[in-house]
Amino acid sequence: MRVTPETVRAERDWVRERAPVVVPLVNDARDRLGRLFETEVDSVAVETYRDEVDLVFADGEVAVNVAGLVGLLRELDVAGDYPGFVVDEVLGRELAATIAGGRPLSLLAQATFHFVDVHVDGDAPELADGRSGGRGADGRVPGSAGADDLDAALAAGFQTRLPGWDWREKESPFGVD
């Protein structure tokens, strides 16, 4: 794999255009997590997601790493899938963490990746409300080992970094003056 500024731009465009699949996964994760933690979590609009994609890719050091991980997951397939379980999980976790930003958000995104990933399987991720997340002719290997992990990682990373969680909107009581 060779990553150039053109590659990064192309991956950014692909991630932006993935909004019809990723945004429902983000909102589904927020709905599920909100119910588990008995809190209201704001949903995310397609334009909010796309604006945040632009912010992630505006930081060149982050952008090159996100682009590389996205490219790897887009192409990753393993004969029989299960033997590749570890590599697609590792790449997905790292992509979610990289998108989310530094600690503690990166760790939270990694945990959220696994939470989202169990609800995204194969070509039709099942959402909490029974709808399918669906997939189109998007240039990926359909149903490949990395396909569902890529969508789960994008959803986990962006849902973590985007506002909408009450605990992130308040000043921490642990800050020391």
Per-residue pLDDT tens digits for 119-173: 886 544 444 444 444 434 444 445 566 778 999 999 999 999 999 887 777 887 8
Could you read off the pLDDT of 100-115 as tens digits, one per residue? Answer: 999 999 999 999 999 9
Domain containing 32 equals: 5-164
- On whether residue 121 sits in a domain, the answer given is yes
What does the DSSP assignment read for 78-133? -TTSGGGHHHHHHHHHHHHHHHH-STTHHHHHHHHHHHHHTT--TTSPBPTTS-B-
What is the Cα–Cα distance from 45 to 51, expressed in whole angstroms?
Answer: 10
**176 belongs to a structural domain:** no
Task: Report the distance separating Cα 138 and Cα 129, nearest Å.
Answer: 24
pTM score, whole prediction:
0.85
Question: Domain for residue 137, yes or no?
Answer: yes
Report pLDDT for 127: 42
**Residue 170, in any domain of the structure:** no
Quick check: is 174 in a domain?
no
Q: Does residue 51 fall inside a structural domain?
A: yes
Helix (H, G, I), strand (E, B) or coil at 69: helix
Percent of the chain with pLDDT over 90: 63
For residue 117, tell me if it sits in a domain.
yes
- Domain count for the chain, please give it: 1
In a domain, 175, yes or no: no
